[in-house]
Amino acid sequence: MNWKNVLLLISADVKSYRLVSGERFRRFRDNRFVTYALYVGACVFGVAIGWVVGNFYSGMGDPQLRELLLQVTINFFLSLPTLALLYGLVITQIGQIQRIGVKASIQPLYWFPITWKEHTLASILANILGLPLAITIFISSGIAVASLFVGVVPLAILTIFALLVSVLLASATTEASRVLQVKLSGAMTKVAGRMVIWVKFLGSLVIFIVFYAVYFSLYRQAASLDLLELIAGGQRMLWFIPYMWHGIALSYFVSGLGFETAILSLASIGFLYAIFLAAVRLNSRFGLYEAPAIRLSLGEYTPRTGVLEKLGFSPLEVAVMRKDFKALTRRSELMSVFMFPIMLAIMPFITVFRGSTDFNSFLFVWLALMPGAFMVMNLGNFMVGLEGASVWYIYSSPITARSLVKAKYSFTVLFSLAVTLVCSIIGSLLAAPSMGIAAIVLTEALFLIFSLGMVSLSFGIRGADFSEFPRPRMIRPKWAIVNMIVCTLLTLAIVSPVVLYLLKLFIKTVQAPLYAMVPISGVIASVVAYAFYRIVLKNAEEFLIRAEG
Amino acid sequence: MSHEPTVKIVNITKRYSDIVALKGLSLDVRRGEIFGFLGPNASGKSTTLKTILGLVKPDFGYVNVLGINVEDNPVEVKRRVGYVPESPRIYEFLTGLEFLDLTGDIYGMNPAEKKKRIEEYLEALELEGREGDMISSYSQGMKQKIVIISALMHRPELLLLDEPISSLDPRSARIIKDLLRELASDGVTTIICTHVLEIAQALCDRIAIMYEGGLLALGTMEELRERAKMPESDLEDIFLQLTGTGDIRPVIEALLK
C-alpha cells in the first residue's frame, strides 16, 4: 500500500465538494482555515458540552439522581456505536449520492498507476471527511471531557474507539454497496428493458414507503431515553450481526467481562478489514462502470398527432410538453416530484394505523388539496431547470417566451390536475364526502393549481439552475425557499374565504355565505394567476436572451 | 454563388468582466459560402458563432442574419438556422429518434417530411437499429451524429457548426463534408469553427483566422498564402505563421530535455 497515493487520492476526492457547493473556479483558492474550522469547532463545542454535563453531574446533591444520570450516561455510551453506524451510513450514502456525478467524471483514476486497495481506502476515508468526522469529533470530545467528571474514563476511551470503528464500517459498507448498487441497477436496467422506468419508479416508491413506515413506527414506539435503553440492552441479542460486535464489546466491558471485550473488539476490527477487502474486490471487478443500452422502441417510426394539437397547442408547444413528460417518467432524479405527492397521499393512512379518530372528515380534504398543490408547486419550480445542460437546445430553438410559458405552464397544470383527480377519486371512495363538500374542495383545488402553477413557474424560471454535476440541481435553493414561502402564503390567501365560511359553522356571528366566499376565493386566485403571468412572461423573455450566462 | 451577405457582422465587441472575447469584429459571409473560423483556444470563434445565433448579446455592434437583426428577432433567426455546439449535451433520457422527432416538431416540419428526413439521415449516418436506444447509452460520435442530423433535418438556410466532425468516424465525416458542399451549391451558407486545418483547407471557400478576439486574417487559401508570403505552404504553416506561433522547434526541444 502506497500511503502517499492514498493521501493524494483523498485530497483529490474531497475537492469534489467544490462542485457540490457550486464554487466558482476562476481564481479559486482553497481556504485552509475554513477546511479545518469545522473540525476545530466540533471539538470545541464537544468539550464545552462535556464540561457542562460533567459539572451538572458533579453538582448534583441527590445520590439517587446521580445514580440515574450515571445509568443514562452508560446507556448513552453503549448505544453510541449503533447510533454512529446509522448516522454514518446515512451521511456517507448521501455524500456518495451527491458526488456520484463527480466520481463518474474522475475516470483518470482508472488509468493512474494506483492499486484498487489504494483507490478504495482513499474513497472510504474521503467519504468520512466533513460531517461524519465532525460529528464523531464532537461526540468523542464531549464524552471524553464528561467522563472525567462522571468517572468512566476507560469506558469513554473504548467508546471513542467503537465510534471510530462504526464510522469506518459505515463508510466501507457505503463504498462496497455503491459499487453493487451501480452494478445491480445496470443489470436491472438490462433485464427490465422497456419496463425499466416503471420498475425503478415502483422500487423507489417501495423504499420510500418502507422507510417512512419504519420511521413512523420508531417514532411512535420510543421516546429518546427509551430508545437508548432499547439499543443498550438489546444489542447483545443481536450477536450474530457483525455490525453490532463493537457495541456488544462495550456492554461486556461494562459487565466486567474483559476477555469477551477483547475478543469482540478484535473481531470487529477483523470484520472492518473484511468489508474493506470486499469493497476492494467489488471495485476491481465492477469499478469501471459503463451504462447499459436502454432500448425503448423497436417498431417503425410514425410521427404522432395527438389531442393537444386539437386543443390549440402548436406543434412546437406539444413537442416541448411531450419531451417534458418523457423527462418526468424517465429521469430518476425527477422521481422525487412524483414521490412527494404520493407520500402525502399515503401519510394519512399511516396516521389511521396509529388510531386517529378524525380520519374520515380530514381524509378527503387532504387528498383533494395537498398532493395536487404540492405537485404544482414542485413541478413549476423544476420545469425550466430540468432542461439541465441541454438548455442550449431551448436557447437555440425558435421558441418564443409566450410559447415556452404556455408549454411549461400547461404541462404543470395538466399533470397536477391528473394527480388531483386520482387522489380525489380515492378520497371520495374512502371518505364518502357530501356533494357540497366535494364540490367546494375540488373548486378550491382547481383555484390552487391554476394560480400556484403560474407562481412556481415564475420562480422556476428566475431561479433555474442548469448545472448537472455532481447532480442535477434544477432550482437554486434560495428560489426554492422563496417559492415555498410565497406559495404557502398565497394558498392561505386563496383558501381563506372558504376557511372563513367553515368558521361560521363554529362561530355563529361570522357572516360568510358560501355563494360569496367561493367566488371571492376564485377572484383572489385569478388575480394571483394574472399578476404572476405578467411576471412569468417577463422572466421567460429574460431567460431566452440570457443564454450567455 | 451570390454575393449577397447571409451574415453581416458589424463591429461587435463582447467583454466578460476583464476579458475581451471579441474586439470590434466585422465581416460578411455570403450566401452559399462555406466559411471557416480558425484560431487558437479562447480566440473568440465560439463566441462569434453564439453571437450570430443570438445566444450572446454583444456589448457594441450588431449582427444581421438573412437580413434580420439578431437582437431584434432572435426567434426568427433561430428558425432559419441549424446549430451544432462544440460540446453538445442533449436530452439523454430520450431515444435518438425521439430527439429528432422533437426537433422536427420544434422547427415546424410536417410529419411526412420529418419521417422521410429522419430515416434518410439515420441510414446515411449508420444509426439505423440504434435509434430506439436511449441517448445516454450512445457513444460520443453517435451523439454528435444525432446533433448534426437535428441541425440539418429542417433544411436551414444557415448552418453554424462548432467542431462538427471531431468525433465522427471517417465515413460519416466524409458524408457530412460532401453534404455541406452539396448544400452550399443549393445556396445554404455554412459557418464552421474547427481546429482541424485539413478540413478547413479542403472545405472552406474563405477562412477567417481569429486571435485574441480580433480578426487576424481573412480570405481564400490563395489570399491567405499571399498575406503570409508563403506561396507553396499549406494552411497549418500559414496559420502558425500568422498567429505568431510558428517557431515551435524550441518548445519541442525543451520538452525533450
Q: Which of A131, A139, A120, A136 lies closest to A98 in space, CA to CA? A: A131
pLDDT in tens, A73-86: 888 888 888 888 88
pLDDT at A23 over 70: no
pLDDT, position A28: 46
Close Cβ partners of A423 (under 8 Å, ≥ 6 residues apart): A341, A345, A367, A368, A371, A372
Close Cβ partners of A484 (under 8 Å, ≥ 6 residues apart): A377
Of A67-81, A132-146, A398-412, B169-183, which gets the smallest average pLDDT?
Answer: A67-81
Which homologous superfamily does the CATH classification assign to the domain defined by B5-80+156-256?
P-loop containing nucleotide triphosphate hydrolases (3.40.50.300)
Q: Residue A331 and residue A341: Cα distance in Å, rounded?
A: 17
Question: How far is CA A389 from each of CA A345, A352, A465, B47, B90, rounded to the nearest angstrom?
Answer: 33, 44, 10, 18, 7
Q: Residue B177 and residue B199: Cα distance in Å, rounded?
A: 8
Q: Nearest CA of chain B to the CA of A359: how many Å?
A: 41
pLDDT in tens, A90-136: 777 777 766 655 554 444 455 556 778 888 898 888 888 888 888 89
Q: Could you report how far apart the first and last alpha carbons of chain B are, in Å?
A: 52
Question: What confidence category does residue A455 fall into, taking pLDDT thresholds of 50, 70 and 90?
Answer: very high
Q: Residue B12 and residue A95: Cα distance in Å, rounded?
A: 46
CB contact under 8 A, B91 and A327: yes
Q: Which of A331, A536, A369 lies closest to A449 in space, CA to CA? A: A369
Contact B100, B152 (CB under 8 A): no
pLDDT in tens, A465-491: 887 765 677 888 889 999 999 999 999
pLDDT, position A434: 83
Task: Identify which of A294, A320, A547 has the shortest CB distance to residue B137.
Answer: A294
Chain B residues whose beta carbon lies within 8 Å of the beta carbon of residue A544: 74
Task: Identify which of B74, B90, B95 has the shortest CB distance to residue A296.
Answer: B95
Q: Residue A163 and residue A48: Cα distance in Å, rounded?
A: 20
What element of type H or E holds B8?
strand B5-16
Q: Which three cell numbers stand for residue B234?
A: 499549406
Q: What is the mean pLDDT of residues A172-186?
A: 79
- Give the burial class of A107: count Cβ atoms within 10 A of its Cβ; 0-12 exposed, 13-18 middle, 19 or more buried: exposed
Question: What confidence category does residue A260 fall into, taking pLDDT thresholds of 50, 70 and 90?
Answer: confident
Q: Long-range contacts of range A300-303, CB-CB < 8 Å, 24 or more positions apart? A: A301/B97, A301/B101, A301/B115, A301/B118, A301/B119, A301/B131, A302/B115, A303/B101, A303/B104, A303/B111, A303/B112, A303/B114, A303/B115
Q: Which three cell numbers stand for residue A224?
A: 429518546
Q: Residue A93 and residue A173: Cα distance in Å, rounded?
A: 9
pLDDT, position A549: 46
Q: Which of A309, A331, A390 to mutate to test the interface with B (most CBs of B within 10 A)?
A: A390
The residues pairing with B133 across neighbouring beta strands, listed in sequence order, are: A295
Chain B residues whose beta carbon lies within 8 Å of the beta carbon of residue A316: 105-106, 108
- Give the burial class of A244: count Cβ atoms within 10 A of its Cβ; 0-12 exposed, 13-18 middle, 19 or more buried: buried
pLDDT, position B208: 93
pLDDT, position A110: 55
Which residue in B has a C-alpha nearest to residue A327's C-alpha? B93
CB contact under 8 A, B93 and A292: no
pLDDT at A14 over 60: yes
DSSP designation for A159 = H
Q: Which of A24, A182, A301, A544 to mutate to test the interface with B (most CBs of B within 10 A)?
A: A301
- Give the burial class of B84: count Cβ atoms within 10 A of its Cβ; 0-12 exposed, 13-18 middle, 19 or more buried: buried
Phi then psi dihedrals of residue B39, to 5 deg:
160, 155
pLDDT in tens, A498-513: 888 777 766 767 676 7
Question: How far is CA A486 from each of CA A452, A456, A493, A498, rounded to the nearest angstrom?
Answer: 9, 9, 10, 20
Of A128-132, A217-221, A540-544, which gets the smallest average pLDDT?
Answer: A217-221
pLDDT, position B28: 94
Chain A residues whose beta carbon lies within 8 Å of the beta carbon of residue B101: 301, 303-304, 319
Q: Nearest CA of chain A to the CA of B93: how many Å?
A: 6
The residues pairing with A295 across neighbouring beta strands, listed in sequence order, are: B133
pLDDT, position A51: 92
DSSP string, A309-374: HHTT--HHHHHHHHHHHHHHHH-GGGHHHHHHHHHHHHHHHHHHHTT-SSHHHHHHHHHHHHHHHH
Q: Nearest CA of chain B to the CA of A164: how many Å?
A: 40
Chain A residues whose beta carbon lies within 8 Å of the beta carbon of residue B57: 545, 548
Q: Which three cell numbers stand for residue A290?
A: 459503463
Q: Could you report how far apart the first and last alpha carbons of chain A are, in Å?
A: 46
Chain B residues in contact with chain A using a Cβ-Cβ cutoff of 8 Å: 50, 53-57, 74-76, 78-79, 81, 83, 85, 88-95, 97-98, 101-102, 104-108, 111-112, 114-115, 118-119, 130-134, 136-137
Q: What is the mean pLDDT of residues A257-281?
A: 91
Close Cβ partners of A424 (under 8 Å, ≥ 6 residues apart): A364, A367, A368, A438, A441, A442, A445
Angle at which helix A116-128 crosses helix A131-150, to 10 degrees, equals: 60
| Helix/strand/coil for A437 | helix
Residue with grid cell 417498431, as numbered in its chain: A299
CB contact under 8 A, B134 and A296: yes
Rg (CA), chain B: 19
CATH 3.40.50.300 in chain B, residues? 5-80+156-256
Chain B residues whose beta carbon lies within 8 Å of the beta carbon of residue A298: 132
pLDDT in tens, A305-355: 678 888 888 888 999 998 888 888 777 677 667 767 777 777 666 555 445
Q: Which three cell numbers stand for residue B36?
A: 471557416
Close Cβ partners of B33 (under 8 Å, ≥ 6 residues apart): B1, B6, B184, B189, B190, B205, B206
Phi then psi dihedrals of residue A512, to 5 deg:
-150, 80
Of A179-193, A237-251, B54-68, B136-150, which gets the smallest average pLDDT?
Answer: A179-193
Q: What is the mean pLDDT of residues A159-165?
A: 91
DSSP designation for A238 = G
Q: Residue A307 and residue A414: Cα distance in Å, rounded?
A: 13
Helical ranges in A354-434 per DSSP H: 359-382, 391-396, 401-431
Instruction: Give the torsion through C-alpha atoms of A45, A49, A51, A54, to 10 deg.
Output: -160
Q: What is the mean pLDDT of residues A155-169?
A: 91
Peptide bond into B5 cis (omega under 30): no
pLDDT, position B183: 92
pLDDT at A231 over 80: no
Please report, rounded to a whole number, the percentage of residues in chain A having pLDDT higher than 90: 25
Q: What is the mean pLDDT of residues A448-461?
A: 95
Q: What is the mean pLDDT of residues A207-226?
A: 58
Q: Residue B90 and residue A389: Cα distance in Å, rounded?
A: 7
pLDDT at A25 over 90: no
**Per-residue model confidence as pLDDT tens for chain B (257 residues):** 445 699 999 999 998 877 888 999 999 999 999 999 998 888 899 899 989 988 888 999 999 999 999 988 888 898 899 999 887 888 877 888 888 988 888 888 888 999 999 999 999 988 888 888 888 778 888 999 999 999 999 999 999 999 888 888 888 888 889 999 999 999 999 999 988 888 888 899 999 999 888 998 899 988 888 887 877 778 888 888 777 776 777 888 888 87
